[in-house]
Amino acid sequence: MPTTVSALADVDDLRVPPWARRTAAAVVWASLPSALWRLAVVLGVPLGLGQSEYDAMLLPGWGLLILPLMSLAQEGLAWLTLGLVRPWGEVWPSWLPYLGGRSIPVPAAVIPAAFGTLACGTYGVAFVWTTLHAHMDITPWGNWLLTASYLPLVAWGPLLGAVTLHYYRRRTAAARVGTHQ
């Protein structure tokens, strides 16, 4: 059966545009500075912090475990954003029993991503408010470095929201095109 030109145009419209790929990658890059800052704290890199700040981060002690795990979790969640613009975010991996090779239901990706958007957006606002009202034991250059490391996280919520909305529209449009052929 021949494929019509309009069907090909519809399929071309469903591909991921460069802006969406760049936006998803920006989430990964936006989360990296704060993760590296926490790892620097654990490694003992002088960051202008007073002893009371190390005590608050449970360093030395549990903070040596908690801070790297926070960084790994944060980066892992940021990398999941790439699934919204890559094929692995649309089809379950083949090694999964029963699900392998099947299409990922749109709500299975969109609902967690929407909650992530809300959580990251809330965190961004809380970060700005806390930073403006914090009384930390930190040097001026340490405060500048801390702010520069964490400020990119403010963008995480809006960036994730844009990619999530695009994923939803693209995947639901693909389902509509698939049913009309």
The residues with which 78 forms a beta bridge, in sequence order, are none
* pLDDT score for 135: 86
Question: What is the sign, positive or negative, of the torsion defined by CA atoms of 138, 139, 140, 142?
Answer: negative
CA separation for the pair 54, 131 (Å, rounded): 17
Average pLDDT, integer, range 67-88: 95
On the question of pLDDT at 156 being above 50, the answer is: yes
Residue 146 buriedness (CB in 10 A; 0-12 / 13-18 / 19+): buried
Q: Model-level pTM?
A: 0.83
Domain ranges in the chain? 19-90+103-180
Q: pLDDT-based confidence at 3, cuts 50/70/90?
A: very low
Which residues touch 174 (CB under 8 Å, ≥6 apart)?
Answer: 14
